[in-house]
Amino acid sequence: MLNQKFTFKAKLEKPRILFLLVGLVFMHLMIHANQTVVNKSDFFLSITTIVFSLAFFISHLPWTRRFEFFFTKESYSRTHKASKNFELKISELQTKQLYNELVRYDLVQQDRTSFLDFKNVFTQDWDSHSSKIYFKMDGPSCREFFYHLVQTFPNNSLTLINFFDRSKLIVRPDGTRYKYNTIKNAPTRSSQSKKHFELKQIFNKIN
């Protein structure tokens, strides 16, 4: 935990702190009630157990990926711009690091996606080149890649529908486009993708 990068994002961290405080307060109250009340009826024990369990759930909820997606998806839609460019603020070194790590973990088809192709897709106007990125990831993994990309490089005009549908630049190994609805609904089917560990390792290494 101490080795991971951390930036305070008010839209996410403020509700996270609120949920955590509410959960901890009610758990403390239920423990205090059990310690101070002498004659405990079955009804009293049931109520305190239920309230404590709900409070524990509320305390745990802010640390789930679904919670993060819920409070960050709004920022994805607000960053949409009319320009046909992702406007990703990423340095040459960071682009190279990201590309090399994806190649290392075999998440991009290297023989069809050169570094120049990779760079063009992220930094140039969509219609100014013929480059494409051939991912070797399923829908949930692509959704998680997009999430990490937006979190690591917040200065951009990235939206999920532009990235995987409108730009026509992100494709499967066979050249076909990903289905937007499949990727959009990926987080509701599983909390972690098949490439969760690899993607986490990749973005942790980006300077």
Q: What is the 3-state secondary structure (H, E, C) of the chain?
A: CCCCCCCCCHHHHHHHHHHHHHHHHHHHHHHHHHHHCCCCCHHHHHHHHHHHHHHHHHHHHHHCHHHHHHHHHHHHHHCCCCCCCCCCCCCHHHHHHHHHHHHHCCCECCCCCCHHHHHHHHHCCHHHCCCCEEECCCHHHHHHHHHHHHHHCCCCCCCHHHHHHHCCCEECCCCCECCHHHHHCHHHHCCCCCCHHHHHHHHHCCC
Q: Which of 120, 117, 132, 139 is nearest to 169 (CA)?
A: 132
Domain assignment present for residue 71? The answer is: no
Per-residue model confidence (pLDDT) at position 104: 95
The answer to whether residues 106 and 192 belong to one domain is yes
Tally of domains in the chain: 2
Per-residue model confidence (pLDDT) at position 81: 44
The answer to whether residues 107 and 184 belong to one domain is yes
Domain that holds residue 162: 92-204
Top-ranked range on mean pLDDT: pick from 29-38, 51-60, 128-137: 128-137
The answer to whether residues 176 and 103 belong to one domain is yes
The answer to whether residues 190 and 132 belong to one domain is yes
| Average pLDDT over every residue of 118-125 | 93
The answer to whether residues 121 and 178 belong to one domain is yes
Residue 115 contacts residue 164 (beta carbons within 8 Å): no
Q: Is the pLDDT of residue 99 over 80?
A: yes
Q: What is the pTM of this model?
A: 0.59
Domain assignment present for residue 3? The answer is: no
Domain assignment present for residue 4? The answer is: no
Per-residue model confidence (pLDDT) at position 112: 95
Per-residue model confidence (pLDDT) at position 80: 45
Q: Is the pLDDT of residue 8 over 50?
A: yes
Distance CA 172, CA 109 (A): 9
Establish how many alpha carbons lie within 13 A of residue 181's alpha carbon, considering only the half-sphere containing its beta carbon.
0
The answer to whether residues 48 and 100 belong to one domain is no
Q: Which of 24, 44, 63 is the last residue of a domain?
A: 63
The answer to whether residues 34 and 126 belong to one domain is no
Q: Is the pLDDT of residue 20 over 60?
A: yes
Domain assignment present for residue 27? The answer is: yes
The answer to whether residues 50 and 96 belong to one domain is no
The answer to whether residues 159 and 96 belong to one domain is yes
The answer to whether residues 107 and 193 belong to one domain is yes
- Which amino acid type is present at position 190? S
Distance CA 155, CA 12 (A): 17
Domain assignment present for residue 190? The answer is: yes
Q: Which of 93, 95, 153 is nearest to 124 (CA)?
A: 95
Domain assignment present for residue 83? The answer is: no
